[in-house]
Amino acid sequence: MIEFEVNIPVQKDLTVTIMDRRKFLKADEPIGETTIDLENRLLTKWRATVGLSRQYTVNGEMPWRDQLCPMATLRRYCSKMLVKPPRILIRQGRNESEKEYGIEVLGLNFWYTAVLTSIEKEEEELVRKQRMEAGKEDDEENEGGGEKGNASKEKSHAADDGQGYKVDIYERNEKIEYWEREEARRELPEKDEIRERGDGDTGTGKTSSRKGTERESGTESKEVKSRFDQRRLNRYRILGSPLNTIALYVLNKMNLVPEHVETRPLQSSMGGNLECGKLKLFVDIFPLCLGAVPPPYEISPRRPDKYQLRVAVFNVCSAIPIKKSFNEPVNDLYVKVFANGMKKADRTDVHYRSLDGMGEFNWRFLLNVDYNPWERKLYCYRKTRLFRKAREELVDPLLIIQLWDKNAITHDKMLGEYTIDMTGFIDGLISPSDLSKYTTNRRGKRNAFTKFTRRVRRCCCVRCLCFLKDSWCFIKFAKSHYIDYPRAPIYDPPEHTGELISLFEAQSARGWWPMLRNGPPEQKDSGGDKRRNNSKLVKYKDKEAQYCMGLVEMEMCLVTQDEARKDPSPYLPKPHRSKWNYFWILSRFRPCCRTFWRRYGITIVIWVIFILLIALFFFALINKWPEMVVLIITDIF
């Protein structure tokens, strides 16, 4: 907003130039300019000094911003156009104590009730036109049946019954109150029914509720009526006096310049009359002879609300493995969390070698987001060049959670992800067992979620006997048991009929959310007979369905930046995880030793014992052979 004083007609032309700023060495260069004739706007009969707004408001975000009130403006305009000044009219209202005001201009009478009706009708048409331009259908008009639809028809009939300015607003408000009282009365029998059933008589609950409604209808109607009157007072509290409202309505009907943002072409001196762009602006002219100049409008861009989103990831349950390590399906799990528009995603540490699909993290993310409550969007800051200022973009308020599998050599693979709309999402599951309602097996039946098979730990003697049986008493190597991949269930999204949860209203939410994947997982075997192993792999028939690859337990908490500074997030306790699962080398060392022992351990032990026995025999033979020779000779002779 730029404000300065000018002397018209000495300074009658306003020139606006758009410049290209240069940071180094060179001076700023003009892009284009436009010229506005201020004298023409001041002297025109269409009053182009300050645009007329649609309604006269004295309170709120957009109050009246002209020097004169609408009534004074109307009188001044009539004197300028050599017309009789407006005359104030007063007539009896519905009650004796009520009076209705009006204005007579050019032989036409404008009454306050008719003006309000016409203004409301114009606003409805404007809203309907804007919805049609946006491609949205008016759901309220498309409702065919129901008493609420009849109420809207009754309202429109009362507002547009062909009587023009003779429409009585009191009759219209009476019909509105009637329909609103009927809607409120339909909800009251449930409460009365509960009160009447408190005596223990459950058979006559409906009849007693009707009687209770009839008895209390007098007091309820008074309460409803007072509530509607208060609502009407709040609606008209921002409006000014009736005379000024009527005067503004008359000025708008005279086709004077309305309040608007004009678009002007930009022309460059190098390009002649060619247009090199457009400029949107509005110019207000306030003659100092009419009084004090009102304060300027605040048109600076709305600053977003700064929040801190705290996402705590606790556990992962039933993650579907897609790789094998030492002939066992395993997962090296970690979770990524980021908001829409962020350059880099935050991630947890890695839970190595998860054999049962479980992962424990207790990891908290702190995400700083800027939210625009008017657009219901998040601000995204992106740089196109190195020395350029970050550009602001509005993106959808989405929170993305991804479940990944860590690979030491190749690229990490994403198991599944879930997107949460922070303005409206379905609450998470209370426990992992609730997911069985939304998953199906390959036969199309509801089943419990994926169960992982675990080996039973047998005693040492049984394992030795099994090893001797499988190896044919050390003649051949023991067979390695093949462990199948668990099958990922198909996820059927639930039909949610209740209200969605807004994180900006609820402030916190906790539950289990599924990690979804479009299409079946790519489960492959490494090593061994590929033909034999591929024949045993899990086969999925539906290639386009959504599969649930696991569950993530999270807690989301949204606080403002001031609350975050006053109350920093506490540290979470360490997860109950084995020390062998914190590092990749340690997680592979134990199964490597176990596999080596399972395959060669008993054989090596038995051969060692056999060699020790032979060595002991020869050692004893070497040490005792003289005595043995003497004994043999004495026995012979």
pTM check: above 0.75 = no
Residue 181 pLDDT exceeds 70: no
Query: Do 516 and 432 share a structural domain?
Result: yes
Residue 537 pLDDT exceeds 90: no
Query: Do 313 and 278 share a structural domain?
Result: no
Query: Do 246 and 277 share a structural domain?
Result: no
Q: Give the other-Cβ count within 10 Å of 416's Cβ.
A: 25
pLDDT in tens, 232-272: 565 577 888 889 999 999 999 998 999 999 999 998 877 67
User: Residue 280 — pLDDT band, cuts 50, 70, 90?
Assistant: very high
Q: Are strands 359-372 and 351-354 parallel, antiparallel or unpaired?
A: unpaired
Query: Do 492 and 431 share a structural domain?
Result: yes
pLDDT in tens, 30-41: 888 999 999 999
Query: Do 178 and 96 share a structural domain?
Result: yes
> Cα dist. 327→330, 352, 388, 500, 584 in Å?
9, 16, 53, 45, 17
Residue 160 pLDDT exceeds 50: no
User: Residue 117 — pLDDT band, cuts 50, 70, 90?
Assistant: confident
Query: Do 216 and 281 share a structural domain?
Result: no
The pLDDT value recorded for residue 232 is 55
* 626 is a domain residue: no
* 170 is a domain residue: yes
pLDDT in tens, 324-368: 887 788 889 999 999 998 888 899 999 998 888 889 999 999 999
User: Residue 124 — pLDDT band, cuts 50, 70, 90?
Assistant: confident
| CATH code for position 515 | 2.60.40.150
State yes or no: cis peptide before 301, omega within 30 of 0.
Answer: no
pLDDT in tens, 418-471: 999 999 998 888 888 887 766 765 544 444 444 444 444 556 676 666 666 666
Residue 163 and residue 150 in contact, taking contact as beta carbons nearer than 8 Å: no
Look over the chain and give the mean of its residue pLDDT values, rounded to a whole number: 77
Residue 523 pLDDT exceeds 50: yes
Query: Do 81 and 170 share a structural domain?
Result: yes
* 601 is a domain residue: no
Q: For residue 169, give its domain range.
A: 52-256
Query: Do 272 and 129 share a structural domain?
Result: no
Q: Are strands 328-339 and 323-325 parallel, antiparallel or unpaired?
A: antiparallel
Q: Which residues of 244-263 are buried (b: 16+ CB within 10 A; e: fewer)?
A: bbbbbbbbbebebeeeeeee
